[in-house]
Amino acid sequence: MADTSIRLHLPNLPPPGEAVSLSDAQAHYLANVMRLGEGDTLRVFNGETGEWRAAITKISRKAATLETLAQTRPPAPEPDAWLCFALLKRQKTDMVVEKATELGVSVIQPIITARTNADHVNLERLRAIAIEAAEQCERLHVPEIREPKPVMKLMADWPARPLYVADERRTAHLLGPATGPSALMIGPEGGFTDQELEAIARIPIITRVSLGRRILRAETAAIAGLALLLAASP
Ligand code: SAH
């Protein structure tokens, strides 16, 4: 029997003493990939109930049940920061979702712009990537991944939330740490059009921000921007 460092996200955690059934994929992972057996322990978590150590009570190649033992972390708030980024090709979108999760975003909002040349996205796949990244980076919350939205529509419905727009074209101030709810927006490889920039400029609480002197690829800009925004957050 081993106490492993494995962490699994479980959206619903019953109270201690009740059996927790795992999904087929999770059971497969524990049984066939990690080769765990009855009595081995791992951690399970979600944003609402925090993180718990749990022991495997039954396991086969296709099914597993656990029992929670003791809480290892109470629920705790995480940064309230959104990432809005112009959809990229599949591999780069995957990378942005993984890294944004590690860096601590709460919402990932893909956007479609005039110069975006990707419009299809497999949300289930992106959600699975975010769950895996949250498991690995010791977060309690998995970011919400929203349906892609045209940037003009997103701007038309924008809530009362400070928006930082990464703008490589002018001498804006370097993006600094967020002190409350925030959103970072990253444009497509070809940049935003003037019409899009005008729509963005109409948001009352928008700040154009620089990410340094060099022009970054969009995926680098998303990762570098979130590091600047969130490095000091809880
Ligand atoms: N318009 C450029 C490249 C855009 S880079 C061109 O013509 O090649 C893609 C996105 O990354 C931009 O829309 C911007 O949001 C962000 N970005 C890249 N480098 C940046 C920088 N130094 N400061 C702020 N934003 C940057």
56 and 113 within one domain: no
218 and 168 within one domain: yes
Domain containing residue 138: 81-229
Confidence of residue 233 (pLDDT cuts 50, 70, 90): confident
124 and 40 within one domain: no
Pocket test for ligand 1, best of 211, 215, 226, 228 (most atoms within 8 A of CB): 215
Q: What is the spatial distance between Cα 33 and Cα 75, in angstroms, rounded to a whole number?
A: 29
In a domain, 234, yes or no: no
> 209: which 2 tokens?
């921000």
pLDDT tens, position by position, 12-62: 998 888 899 999 999 999 999 999 999 999 999 999 999 999 999 999 988
Pocket of ligand 1 (CB under 6 A): 166-168, 186-187, 189-192, 210-212, 214-216, 218, 221
Give the pLDDT of residue 81. Answer: 98
What total number of domains does the chain contain? 2
In a domain, 88, yes or no: yes
Q: What is the spatial distance between Cα 14 and Cα 7, in angstroms, rounded to a whole number?
A: 17
Can you tell me the mean pLDDT for 187-206?
Answer: 93
pTM beyond cutoff 0.75? yes
Pocket test for ligand 1, best of 85, 96, 117, 168 (most atoms within 8 A of CB): 168
68 and 114 within one domain: no
Q: Which atom of ligand 1 is nearest to the CA of 187?
A: 13
Question: Which residue, 57, 73, 89, sits at the end of a domain?
Answer: 73
HEC readout, the chain: CCEEEEEEECCCCCCCCCEEECCHHHHHHHHHHCCCCCCCEEEEEECCCEEEEEEEEEECCCCEEEEEEEEEECCCCCCCEEEEEECCCHHHHHHHHHHHHHHCCCEEEEEECCCCCCCCCCHHHHHHHHHHHHHHHCCCCCCEECCCEEHHHHHHCCCCCCEEEECCCCCCEECCCCCCCEEEEECCCCCCCHHHHHHHHCCCCEEEEECCCCCCCHHHHHHHHHHHHHCCCC
Question: Which residue, 21, 38, 73, sits at the end of a domain?
Answer: 73
175 and 149 within one domain: yes
